[in-house]
């Protein structure tokens, strides 16, 4: 699976959009970009994933650049409950092990 690079930490004001970047310059054609988050030692929570098109669900939007070498997770109206470590994970679909390789992630702190 391709390696990802994320900023160590970011701050965001409550009610504003949080834009979390991820670099995955070595991504291959069959690899998807997944985002998970972990709120203070709770189990990681799936947020969204995509291949090459932008995706949106009830939690967030995922913008993937045309060359697929980077992506941005957007939380449109961040709340205090969105304070968490956000992980960008690149992996291929299927295979014999669905292991998720978590890096260090980005600690997003939403401030009142």
H helix and E strand count, the chain: 0, 9
Residue 80 beta carbon to another protein: minimum distance, rounded to whole angstroms: 20
57 lies in the binding site for another protein (CB under 8 A): no
Tell the smallest beta-carbon distance from residue 74 to another protein (Å): 19
Question: How many residues interact with another protein (rule CB under 8 A)?
Answer: 17
Count of residues in the chain: 112
Name the minimum Å distance from CB 105 to another protein.
8
CB contact at 8 A, 100 and 89: yes
* Both tokens assigned to 75: 């939380």
Tokens of 108: 């997003």
Give me the 64-103 binding string for another protein, x by CB under 8 A, dash otherwise.
-----------------------------xx-xxxxx-xx
What are the CA-CA distances from residue 79 to residues 9, 30, 48 (Å)? 16, 34, 18
φ and ψ of 51, to 5 deg:
-105, -60
Provide the minimum distance between the beta carbon of 84 and another protein in the complex, in angstroms, as a whole number.
13
Q: Any contact of residue 3 with another protein (CB under 8 A)?
A: no
Residue ranges in 26-45 that form contacts with another protein under rule CB under 8 A: 41-45
Residue among 51, 82, 44 at smallest CA distance from 74? 82
- Write out the residues near another protein by the rule CB under 8 A: 41-46, 49, 93-94, 96-100, 102-104
């Amino acid at each position: 699976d391709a390696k990802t690079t994320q900023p160590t930490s970011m701050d965001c004001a409550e009610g504003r959009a949080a834009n979390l970047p991820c670099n995955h310059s070595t991504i291959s054609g069959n690899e998807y970009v997944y985002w998970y988050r972990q709120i203070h030692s709770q189990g990681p929570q799936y947020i969204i994933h995509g291949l090459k098109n932008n995706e949106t669900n009830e939690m967030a939007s995922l913008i993937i650049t045309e060359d697929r070498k980077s992506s941005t997770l957007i939380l449109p109206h961040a709340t205090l409950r969105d304070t968490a470590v956000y992980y960008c994970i690149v992996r291929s679909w299927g295979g014999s092990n669905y292991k998720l390789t978590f890096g260090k992630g980005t600690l997003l702190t939403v401030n009142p």
